[in-house]
Amino acid sequence: MRMENISLLLVDDENDFRQTVAKRLIKRGMNVRQASSGQECLDSIAKDPVDVVVLDVKMPGMDGIETLHRIKEMHPEIEVIFVTGHACAQDGVEGIKTGAFDYLCKPIELEHLISKIRQAFDKRIREREKQKEKDFRAKMEQQMIATERLASLGTLAAGVAHEINNPLAIIREAAGWMKSILQKDELASMPRKGDFEKALGKIEAGVERVRRITHQLLGSVKQTDSTISEVNLKELLNETVALHQKEADDKDLKIIQEMGSGSGIIWTDPYKLRQVLINIINNAVHATDSGGRITATIETFDDDVAIRITDTGRGIPREHLEKIFEPFFSTKPPGEGTGLGLFVSRSIMNKLGGEINVESRLGQGTGFCIKLPKHPHVKSDLDKK
Amino acid sequence: MVKIPTKVLLVDDEKDFVEMLSLRLQEAGEKVHTAYSGKECLDTLKKTGIDVIILDIKMPGMDGMETLGEIKKRFPLVEVILLTGHGSTETAVEGMKLGAFDYLMKPADFEELTAKLLGARKRKDEQEERIRLAEAKLLMRKSGGAF
């Protein structure tokens, strides 16, 4: 281990002793600061924390034990080595109880001190790594909880959607039947015929709204008959853009495709991927006012491919950005958007082993980026079963 | 013009749905028979001449795909339109590869359904017409050889 990485604070009221030791430690390459009292030590740490403090127990004013307490209050991660007068092991033990790393008795042997400092520093590095790992694990767990929550929510929603579809079909046929009866000659002069027709129209519109929701929900979770095949992304993107071309032309929007130099061929589920692209381009067309521009690019990397759809539209407010992937979040008026497009897109991307990300600036536009592996991870599929 | 009714067989385990859709189709001038399972569907086919079957994919017991297989084996000229309640087009597409005319997602749009019924009926009529012509030709050749 390299000594220059260690920053050390040497605290002792005996100037000669302190300076001698400091000089010798600096020679060994350590970064050494000095303090002549407990208070000075605390001030120094408050300004800029160190890794290890070597602390004399017997000092006028604030003594070593008190100083140690205060250091640990401010920075529990700093390791403190106690230096006690000769034959004063009692103080050293007291120090360890208070949280010191270890203690040394005067007179100090330099090599001994250096090896203790080194051990204390080692401990700090281990603690730091442990903390990092803990943070990482916590983050991962949080992510997994979120993913699982969405997955089970999706499964539940699809189950409900499926159960709703059958009675919905009955309602639709019943309303349709009544409508066709009303059109018969025998009922041409039926009283309040218009009212009946109006009500039936409302029923049909309502059924249509529910139908759109259930179909999108079902599309999100159906995973048993996923078909992985060789897909030419350029063609797929081209086809999908063509689907929106008319709407874009009507709004005087330009859709620009930049295919990049890669082959654009990957293995994935073309139907699912197309659904994601349709959702994103659809949103882009809706969010961009006339005269705007939508750019679709394909970028090829070593193991994966990124498709970016950028628009010059209205952008997404920051407070909405976190919610746009949640089910039933929509800014469109009721009945126009199901609030499921991006939710479904994200669950599809998860299933395909990819990811979907968004960047947006109000008034400047929004960019969606979907990343897919060139080859799906077959193993994870098997694991699921 | 007087409409020639299509002989439709509606197969679904959801009784209310079958009743409502069949009433609606009858109102639109079709001749509708109903069956509530794959087995019942095949029984009806044995007894009754049918042009087009509207077949639900998801049924308990013998499901739609299995029924489709049997229909195509035993009554290859009868056209089948699949109804899928899943929103899963893949199964439906498989069904079309097995000989189904087309598919519709439940709840289906009635206009779309009648358009597809018409298409299916037309394909059946044309096929039968071709067979008739081919048979006539065969008969001519045979009788031609006899003289």
Interface membership of A181 toward B (CB under 8 Å): yes
Contact call for residues A199 and A178 (beta carbons, < 8 A): no
Residues pairing with A271 in the sheet: none
pLDDT band at A53 (very low <50, low <70, confident <90, very high): very high
Q: Which domains does chain B have, with CATH numbers?
A: 7-146 (3.40.50.2300)
B-chain CB neighbours of A170 within 8 Å are: 14, 16-17, 20
For A97-144, write each residue's pLDDT tens digit: 888 898 888 888 889 899 999 999 999 989 888 888 888 888 877 777
3-state per-residue secondary structure call for A206-233: HHHHHHHHHHHHHHHHCCCCCCCEEEEH
Specify the range with the lowest mean pLDDT, choosing from A266-270, A380-384, B20-24, B110-114. A380-384
pLDDT tens-digit profile of A245-301?
A: 888 888 899 999 988 877 888 888 888 898 899 889 989 999 999 899 999 999 988
Crossing angle of helices A64-74 and A38-47, in 10° steps, is 20
pLDDT for res A381: 43
Predicted confidence at residue A379, as pLDDT, reads: 42
Chain A residue with CA closest to B23: the answer is: A177
pLDDT digits (tens, 9 = 90+) for A340-379: 888 888 888 888 889 999 999 998 999 999 999 988 765 4
Residue A21 has pLDDT above 70, yes or no: yes
Task: Say what the pLDDT of residue B101 is.
Answer: 96
Predicted TM-score of the model (pTM): 0.54
User: If you average pLDDT over every residue of chain A, what do you get?
Assistant: 85
Q: Between chains, do B85 and A181 touch, taking CB under 8 Å as contact? A: no
Cis amide linkage into residue A327, ω under 30° from 0: no
A177, A218, A227 member nearest B87 (Cβ): A218
Q: In the CATH scheme, what is the code of domain A229-384?
A: 3.30.565.10
Q: Which of B14, B87, B91 sits opposite A219 (nearest CB)?
A: B87
d(CA A367, CA B33): 54
DSSP letters for A300-363: E-SSEEEEEEEE-S----HHHHTTTTSTT---SPBTTB-S-HHHHHHHHHHHTT-EEEEEEETT
Chain B residue numbers with beta carbons less than 8 Å from the beta carbon of A219 are 87
B90 at the A interface (CB within 8 A)?
yes
Contacts of A181 in chain B (CB under 8 A): 27
Structure confidence at residue A3 (pLDDT): 61
* Chain A residue at shortest CA distance from B113: A173
Contact A227 B90 (CB under 8 A): yes
Residue B14 sits at the chain A interface (C-beta within 8 Å): yes
Cβ of A218 and B24 within 8 Å? no
Contact across the interface for A177 and B27, Cβ inside 8 Å:
yes
Q: What is the pLDDT of residues A100-112, one digit of tens each?
A: 898 888 888 889 8
Pairing of strands A293-300, B31-35: unpaired
Q: What is the pLDDT of residues A299-321, one digit of tens each?
A: 988 888 999 999 999 999 988 88
From the candidates A177, A217, A340, which should be mutated to test the interface with B, based on the most B CB atoms within 10 A? A177
Mean pLDDT, to the nearest integer, of A221-229?
63
Mind listing the pLDDT tens digit for each residue in B112-134? 999 999 999 999 999 999 999 99
User: Which pLDDT value is given to residue A244?
Assistant: 87
Q: What's the whole-number mean pLDDT along residues B70-88?
A: 87
pLDDT at position B38: 94
Q: Is the pLDDT of residue A35 over 90?
A: yes
Asked if A279 and A341 touch (Cβ cutoff 8 Å), the reply is yes
Any CB–CB contact under 8 A between B62 and chain A? Answer: no
B127 in Cβ contact with B75 (< 8 Å): no
What is the amino acid identity at position B8? V
B14: Cα within 13 Å, side-chain hemisphere: 24
Q: Rounded CA gap, A238 and A178, in Å? A: 43
Chain A contact for B108, CB < 8 A? yes
Contacts (Cβ under 8 Å, ≥6 apart) of A90:
none
CB contact under 8 A, B20 and A173: yes
Residue A215 binned pLDDT confidence (cut-offs 50, 70, 90) = confident
Under the banding of pLDDT at 50, 70 and 90, the label for residue A242 is confident
CA nearest to A260, candidates A300, A306, A304, A293? A300
Choose, out of B59, B89, B104, B110, the residue to mutate when testing the contact with A (most A CBs < 10 Å): B110
Give strand ranges (E) for chain A.
Answer: 7-11, 31-35, 52-56, 79-84, 102-105, 229-232, 254-258, 265-268, 293-300, 304-311, 355-361, 365-373
Span A194-210, pLDDT tens digits: 999 999 999 999 998 88
Tell me the shortest Cα–Cα distance from B89 to chain A, in angstroms: 9
- According to the model, what pLDDT value does residue A272 have? 85
Tokens of A50: 């160190």
Domain A3-108 carries which CATH code?
Answer: 3.40.50.2300
Pick the residue of B12, B18, B57, B86 with the most A CBs within 10 A to test the interface with A by mutation: B86
- When pLDDT is cut at 50, 70 and 90, the band that residue A382 belongs to is very low
What is the reported pLDDT for A292?
A: 92
Predicted confidence band of residue A2 (pLDDT cuts 50, 70, 90): low
ipTM of model over 0.90: no
**Are residues A225 and B107, on separate chains, in Cβ contact within 8 Å?**
no
Query: How many contacts, defined by CB atoms under 8 Å, are there between A and B?
Result: 63
Using the Cβ of A187 and the Cβ atoms of chain B, whether some distance falls under 8 Å is answered with: no
**Residue B28 pLDDT > 60:** yes
Residues of chain A with pLDDT > 90: what percent?
Answer: 36
